[in-house]
Structure 1
């Protein structure tokens, strides 16, 4: 397998990043995870070119990094949304469990309403 040039790697990194940002509000956790994996693979592949970076490479990397804040914000949004869902689910489950307790046949259950 031949080694790709720094320009080829950075072009692919820029392409996948820009494609993701163009549809960022539609991306779900799985797609963002795949994006992060792809970007990591490309960055690792670029490491061997690091010592010979040109000014154009640096500018392209800076351009790509400008999208990171938007991507991280989307990830944070999805994380918070999932956390809120888990909290609602836990609260509903706790309320449901209060009514599904196993009681002895001769016991009394009193529901105190406020």
Structure 2
């Protein structure tokens, strides 16, 4: 088997493993997968001229899983965005209550 075939095999195994466990996967695992996949794709791309019809079909089949993987990435991105937004709100509220006031001043919190 050629080096290119080994790269494609490794990419297939890596992708199958991620897709199989996509519901339980953590952000860190998905990030590691992305890095490994990127390295494999660069290696395959460097040998693009050697791609046979069989290899192209296998790669096309792998691209069918992209939607599942991207969906999970979007889920993590949205969670992170929500968390950051919540932290910003908490910071604003905290700053409102911890502002510097004179020791003998009064603070009235009115609820509407």
CA–CA distance in 1 between the matches of 2:35 and 2:9?
17
CA–CA distance in 2 between the matches of 1:97 and 1:78?
28
CA–CA distance in 2 between the matches of 1:86 and 1:50?
41
SS of the residue corresponding to residue 26 of structure 1 reads coil
Q: CA RMSD for the aligned pairs?
A: 1.3
CA–CA distance in 1 between the matches of 2:44 and 2:50?
11
CA–CA distance in 1 between the matches of 2:76 and 2:53?
36
1:29 alignment counterpart: 27
2:52 alignment counterpart: 54
1:79 alignment counterpart: 77
SS of the residue corresponding to residue 113 of structure 1 reads coil
TM-score (norm 1): 0.89
CA–CA distance in 2 between the matches of 1:48 and 1:79?
30
1:15 aligns with 2:13: yes
1:90 aligns with 2:82: no
SS of the residue corresponding to residue 19 of structure 2 reads helix
Structure 1's 111 and 48: CA in aligned 2 closer, same or farther, altered over 3 A?
closer
CA–CA distance in 2 between the matches of 1:27 and 1:102?
45
How many aligned positions are there?
111
